[in-house]
Amino acid sequence: MVVIIDYNIGNVRSVLNACDRVGINAVISRDEEIIKQAKGIILPGVGSFNVAMENLEKYNLIDILNERKQAGIPILGICLGMQVLLEKGYEVKETKGLGYLKGNVDLIKTDKKLPHMGWNELYFNKNNSILKYIKEFDDVYFVHSYMADFKDEEVICYTEYGGQKIPAIVGKNNVLGCQFHPEKSGEVGQNILKAWKEIVE
Amino acid sequence: MLKKRIIPCLDIKNGKVVKGINFEGLTNIGDPVEYAKIYEKQCADEIVFLDITASFEEREIIKDIIEEGAKELRIPLTVGGGIRTLEDFRNILKSGADKVSINSAAVNNPDLIKEASNEFGSQCVVVAIDGKRDEQGNFKVYIKGGRENTGLDLIEWARKCEELGAGEILLTSMDADGTKKGYDIEMTKEVVQNVGIPVIASGGCGSIKDIVDVFQETNCDAALVASLFHYKEATIDEVKQELAKNNISVRSIAK
């Protein structure tokens, strides 16, 4: 069983639907016991960094997430859920993140339109089993105005927008994150979740 | 590179697709989700459901359709029509829509844009604007299907929507809508040049060439298409092939 963390930060229904499609047995929950039993954790999220962290705190989820991270349980952050895996965010105000990956989250520096919204292609940077069923230059669906600045070694894929190299899939050990929405990225997104399912198993 | 998006729009009344002929392989004639699935297979980048149901009671039906759509579709789903309050927003999103489009409710109560984007994030707030030239030829915002001039200047209103937190603008030219003579290039250009958020061009599409034109002549991000697809005059694949030939960057399924 995989748990989709319910911390009241946007619609998580589509993540659950996407899990169903690839045969991931997922539940939406913030219950500590369920999180403890889960073989994998998905941290979704749509909204702003500071609210996401406030909610994780409010629902007492930070300690249990830290513990599960230490225990080596696969964690997948999606969109804002990926961003809070980092050390710090600057959306609305400076906020400390979970700090599982090194780097900060700040507004995309560009004169192009924001949000960066729509389908954009992936450039591979580093090998990872999450890429097992997809190809370089496959398109995935992004919606965000903030981006992570990362150490290169933690970036698995980039995309490019407005003159910026934007980390699209990041990860280290058991922690992975997608800036885009695999649950909304058609066949390609489905194949990413399929690969993550195998990582969990 | 960010791809230009092709978005089929389905008008739904009492749970059924209003326009459109029967596609082969449709198990439930008129079922919006079945249409949407076919479009997803043809490489649609997003889907829009526009609920044109008149009465309040019948609005419950759309919730089931959204739930079904969210289960079946692997691409973003926008739902519009009859959304007036924050509570409507919440219900539509809860049913599984990714974005909500508001039109006259935004004109009547601009704060709704702000409240919705604060609460749910600007990425899910699409403001639909019906633009039309008034007698002096100035672009104005109309409501009630182009019958009522609000007096609002189109560009000022589009800017205000952005300021209030809209994530995207769905711009329909009421002059072009239904003519099948092509998108309103002049109007689309005006709006695109004056806002910093994505703009979806809508109204007037009658051929593949019209779609090529709107992307070549304006910097809009997406094109909304209805009857061209519903009446099988073209498939989304065909549109994308033609766009690619014209060096317009699009997503394709087979690479």
Using a CB–CB cutoff of 8 Å, tell me whether B229 touches chain A: no
Tell whether B245 lies on the interface with A, counting CB pairs under 8 A: no
Nearest to B5 among A10, A113, A118 (CB): A118
Instruction: Please determine, for residue B253, whether its predicted confidence score (pLDDT) is greater than 80.
Output: no
Number of Cβ pairs closer than 8 Å across A and B? Answer: 86
Domain at A6, CATH number:
3.40.50.880
Percent with pLDDT over 90 in chain B: 74
Burial class (CB in 10 A: 0-12, 13-18, 19+), A130: buried
Distance CA A18, CA A21 (A): 5
Check B120 against A10: CB less than 8 A apart.
yes
Residues B66-89, mean pLDDT to the nearest whole number: 93
Say which of B71, B75, B124 has its CB closest to residue A17.
Answer: B71
In this structure, are residues A139 and A182 in contact, taking their beta carbons and an 8 Å threshold? no
pLDDT, residue B62, reads 87
Answer yes or no: do B3 and A139 touch at CB < 8 A.
yes
Ramachandran sector of residue A137 (left: φ over 0; alpha: ψ -120 to 50; beta: rest): left
The whole-angstrom distance between B18's CA and the closest CA on chain A is 26
Inter-chain touch A10–B121, beta carbons under 8 Å: yes
Q: What is the pLDDT of residue A150?
A: 79
Distance from CA of B251 to the nearest CA of A (A): 7
Q: Dihedral of CA B210/B212/B216/B221: which sign?
A: positive
Around B189, how many Cα atoms within 13 Å sit in the side-chain half-sphere?
A: 8
Catalytic residue among B45, B51, B98, B130: B130
Given this model, what pLDDT does residue B246 score?
97
pLDDT given for residue B58 in this prediction: 67
Structural domain including A18 reads 2-200
DSSP A20: H
| E-only strand ranges, chain B | 5-13, 16-17, 47-51, 77-80, 99-102, 125-133, 139-143, 148-153, 168-173, 199-202, 222-225
Are residues B80 and B126 in contact, defined by beta-carbon separation less than 8 angstroms? yes
Nearest to A113 among B75, B96, B198 (CB): B198
CB B9 within 8 A of CB B48: yes
Query: Do A154 and A101 touch, CB atoms closer than 8 A?
Result: yes
Cβ-defined contact of B74 to A135 (cutoff 8 Å): no
Is residue B54 scored above 70 in pLDDT?
Answer: no
Tens-digit pLDDT profile for residues B110-140: 999 999 998 888 889 999 999 999 999 999 9
Q: Report CB contact under 8 Å: A119, B71.
A: no
Average pLDDT, chain B: 91
pLDDT band at B255; cut points 50, 70, 90: very low
By CA distance, what is A17's nearest residue in B? B71
Sheet holding A75-78, edge to edge: A26-29, A2-5, A40-43, A75-78, A175-178, A164-172, A155-161, A123-124
Q: Tokens 């809009």 appear where?
A: B220
ipTM: 0.92
What residues of A act catalytically? 79, 181, 183
Please, what is the Cα angle at A83 between A79 and A88, to 5 degrees?
Answer: 160
Q: Is A24 on the interface with B (CB under 8 A)?
A: no
- Mean pLDDT for B191-208 is 97
Nearest to B2 among A17, A20, A161 (CB): A161
B11 is catalytic: yes
**Would you kindly state where each structural domain of chain B is located, as residue ranges?**
5-245
Mean pLDDT to the nearest integer, B95-124: 92
Contact assessment for residue B134 and residue B162, using Cβ atoms and an 8 Å cutoff: no
CA–centroid distance for B36 within its chain: 14
- pLDDT, one tens digit per residue, over B4-29 is 999 999 999 888 888 766 666 655 66
Cross-strand bridge partners of residue A124? A157
d(CA B242, CA B255): 16
Task: State residue B121's pLDDT score.
Answer: 85
Q: How far apart are CA A10 and CA A43, in angstroms?
A: 11
Instruction: Per residue of chain A (201 residues), give pLDDT as tens.
Output: 999 999 988 778 889 999 999 999 999 999 999 999 999 999 998 888 998 999 999 999 999 999 999 999 999 999 999 999 999 999 888 999 999 999 999 999 999 999 999 999 999 999 999 999 999 999 999 999 999 987 777 899 999 999 999 999 999 999 999 999 999 999 999 999 999 999 999
Concerning whether B98 is annotated as a catalytic residue, the answer is no
Q: Which residues contact B140 (CB under 8 A, 6 or more apart)?
A: B131, B132, B133, B134, B149, B150, B151, B152, B153, B154
Average pLDDT over residues B152-163: 98
Instruction: Indicate the fold that domain B5-245 takes in CATH.
Output: TIM Barrel (3.20.20)
- Chain A residues near residue B93 by CB distance under 8 angstroms: 11
Q: How far is CA B143 from CA A102, B4, B18, B39, B164, in A?
A: 50, 28, 21, 29, 19
Question: What's the pTM?
Answer: 0.94
CA distance A101 to chain B (A): 25
Question: Which residues in chain B are closer than 8 Å to A121, comparing Cβ atoms?
Answer: 1
pLDDT at B45: 98
- B233 min Cα distance to partner chain A (Å): 25
- A48: Cα separation from own chain's centroid: 14
B137 touches chain A (CB under 8 A): no
Residue (of B205, B224, B217, B206) closest to B246 by Cα position: B217
Q: Are B75 and A184 in contact (CB < 8 Å)?
A: yes
Please state the domain count of chain A: 1
